Amino acid sequence: MPRSLAVVCLAAGLGKRTKVSIPKVLLPLCGRTLAGSALDVTDALLPDRTIVLVHHQADKVQRALANRTSVTFVDQGKPMGTGHAVKAAMHALGDFDGDVLVIYGDCPLMTTATLSALRLARGTAPCAMLTAYPSDTDGLGRILRDEAGRLLGIREAKDCSKDQLLIDEINAGFYCFDARALGPALQTLKPNNAQGEYYLTDVIAQFVAEGRDVATIEAEADDEILGVNSLADLAVARLVMQERILMEHLHNGVIITDPSTTFIDHGVKIGADTRILPCTVIGVGCTIGKHCEVGPFAHLRAGTVLEDGAEIGNFVEAKKTLVGAGSKAKHLTYLGDTVIGKNANIGAGTITANYDGVNKHETRIGDRVFIGSGTVIVAPSQLGADSMTGAGAVVKPNTLIGDREVWVGVPARLKKTRDLRSIKEHS
């Protein structure tokens, strides 16, 4: 029977080095927060319990993560080290028996595969820990081993001697503990170090002193263990995360012309044979079908859906908009809170004016509608199938344009009804 799993996410830090007002763990990263990214990784492991340690602006962190199920928030109080945080988490876990996986809310690049391997490595040991050999070891705790390679302990960088600082194997800070071993060991921690804090690494030292094996595995890549302590770190993390997202779409048959200028958030769904052209931004919550084309210089925002064969062109922005199969908006257009039917043509410079200063309203555009260049449609309005607007038309709010009707002017008025044969000839 598989062991039960509890995840402990440390997210109480102040984050002074970011020099921004929001909590560090809520900094944005490709459509998610740092903490959200970290927890999405562990959610894939299907934990029985998840404890998130909070303190600095705890209310904001809790609100941002409130949509997650089976998450318990624990206010750590004044942060006094990793051992102090995990001790608070274990108190909340009560008599939990199983694996306790310790992660960090500011380490968004860890992978589910590595954490799975860490759990597997624990076996019957009281703990398995992750190590790494990064090119820059500055500020990182060093792994101490004997001549036979057996783990002796971990020395925090600020407590290292000059010789110990030359060690290139570092503690990545991710652990999988046996809950039954962790609880008692935490009770013995003392702040006997330069920082006056309770170090979780001292638990490892205690296991070693008792002659108990501690398993170690090496991280697959340096970027997995990157902690975001500054906005410069955040920029590096975004580059790594963006590359992962783009590679996934490329492997799924999405044609991305220039990945270096394409920005796609987490959770975006794109069908095979769709082309994403340069300088395109696609936000979280967008869905794009097969055989579509987006860009260049296009911006798709949350809630936008492109059905198969739809096209969004240069300098077009769409927010919370459905673009029906085969429909096109190719130039200089804003589509907000809009539903567009199939095979419609949205002319250059079209605006669906969805905001009246207080509320957002919807525009509905039917199948095979032809919108003339420079048209402004003030929502709420509805355009029936095969209808048409003239160039520069301004459609007033609460307008209902019937099927095949042609409206022109400022404000737009009915001019005529389109001939059905003419529509078929131009379709």
pLDDT for res 111: 97
Q: Could you say which of 225, 260, 283 is where a domain stops?
A: 225
Say if residue 119 is in the same domain as residue 192: yes
199 and 62 in a single domain? The answer is yes
Examine the residue annotation and report whether 331 is marked as an active-site residue of this protein. Answer: yes
Regarding whether 258 and 216 lie in a shared domain, the answer is: no
- Residue 395 forms part of a structural domain: yes
Indicate if 180 and 145 belong to the same structural domain. yes
Return the closest-CA partner of residue 312 out of 245, 392, 304: 304
Same domain, 203 and 332: no
Q: Are residues 164 and 264 in the same domain?
A: no
| Model pLDDT, residue 424 | 64
Cis (ω within 30 of 0) for the bond into 411?
A: yes
> Is 238 inside any structural domain?
no
Q: Cα(316)–Cα(336) distance, rounded to whole angstroms?
A: 11
Which ranges of 111-200 does DSSP label H, i.e. alpha helix? 112-122, 179-187
User: What is the reported pLDDT for 156?
Assistant: 82
For 393, the token pair is: 């038309």
**Model confidence at 107: pLDDT above 70:** yes
What is the model's pLDDT at position 61? 95
pLDDT digits 0-9 by tens, 361-376: 999 999 999 999 999 9
Q: Residue 152 falls within a domain, yes or no?
A: yes
End-to-end CA distance of the chain: 62
Q: How far apart are CA 15 and CA 104, in angstroms?
A: 13
- Tell me 342's DSSP state: T
For residue 275, is it within any domain?
yes
Domain check: are 292 and 189 in the same one?
A: no
pLDDT, mean over the chain: 94
Q: Are residues 195 and 269 in the same domain?
A: no
pLDDT tens figures, 237-260: 999 999 999 999 999 999 999 999
Average pLDDT value for residue range 389-415:
97
Q: Is residue 347 part of a domain?
A: yes
Query: Are the C-beta atoms of 376 and 395 separated by less than 8 Å?
Result: yes
Any domain includes 367: yes
Residue 382 predicted with pLDDT over 90: yes
Is there a domain that residue 115 lies in?
Answer: yes
* Residue range of the domain that includes 109: 5-225
Residues 209 and 253 in one domain: no
Tens-digit pLDDT profile for residues 131-176: 999 988 988 889 999 888 889 888 888 888 999 999 999 999 999 9
User: Does residue 234 sit within a domain?
Assistant: no
CATH number for 284? 2.160.10.10
pTM of the predicted model, to two decimals?
A: 0.92
Domains contained in the chain, number: 2
Identify whether residues 322 and 175 lie together within a single domain.
Answer: no
Single out the residue in 225, 259, 291 at which a domain terminates: 225
Please name which of 201, 206, 141, 202 lies closest in space to residue 167, comparing C-alpha atoms.
141
Q: Which of 55, 291, 299, 331 is catalytic?
A: 331
Name which of 127, 213, 130 is nearest 178 in CA terms. Answer: 127
pLDDT, mean of residues 283-310? 98
Binning pLDDT at 50, 70 and 90, where does residue 26 land?
A: very high
Question: Same structural domain for residues 120 and 194?
Answer: yes
Indicate if 53 and 113 belong to the same structural domain.
yes
